[in-house]
Amino acid sequence: QVQMVQSGAEVKTPGASVKVSCRTSGYTFNRYGITWVRQAPGQGLEWMGWISPSNANTHHAQKFQGRLTMTTDTSTSTANMELRSLRSDDTAVYYCARDLSIPGSSINWGQGTLVTVSS
């Protein structure tokens, strides 16, 4: 079955960078997009961006312009998300998800990775 396994929790200081990995299995990695979503403590979901593993095309929310990099490694069926210049309001659970068809149809989700930004 489809599995999305994310890397473990991270604690970072303001200004640092964090990289979250999402190792996938159970489907043909190149055929489906990967969406990244985050959720601050007690808050709602926030769409961050999307990457197509087949051609590495990416789209991201404007608010992350210049700070967000999404990549994929087709040899290991892994997606990665790097967020730079971290601030305290970047503290959140970060999720990767496989899209069923288009970016809004995220059908299989990782378990989430808590990133805490604190001095």
Partner 1 sequence: QSALTQPPSASGSPGQSVTISCTGTSSDVGGYNYVSWFQQHPGKAPKLMIYEVSKRPSGVPDRFSGSKSGNTASLSVSGLQAEDEADYYCSSYAGNNNWMFGGGTKLTVL
Residue numbers at the binding site for partner 1 (CB under 8 A): 35, 37, 44-47, 50, 59, 61-62, 95, 97, 100-107, 109-112
Closest CB 112 distance from partner 1, rounded Å: 6
**What count of residues does the chain have?**
119
Q: Minimal CA–CA distance to 14: which of 114, 101, 94, 84? A: 84
For residue 113, the one-letter residue type is: T
Query: For residues 17 and 111, which CB has a smaller minimum distance to partner 1 in the complex?
Result: 111
Query: For residues 53 and 110, which CB has a smaller minimum distance to partner 1 in the complex?
Result: 110
Cα 79 from chain centroid?
8
Q: CA-CA distance, 119 to 107, in Å (whole number)?
A: 36
Closest CB 60 distance from partner 1, rounded Å: 9
Query: For residues 93 and 117, which CB has a smaller minimum distance to partner 1 in the complex?
Result: 93
Q: Which residues contact 58 (CB under 8 A, 6 or more apart)?
A: 49, 50, 51, 52, 70
Closest CB 36 distance from partner 1, rounded Å: 11
Query: For residues 16 and 102, which CB has a smaller minimum distance to partner 1 in the complex?
Result: 102
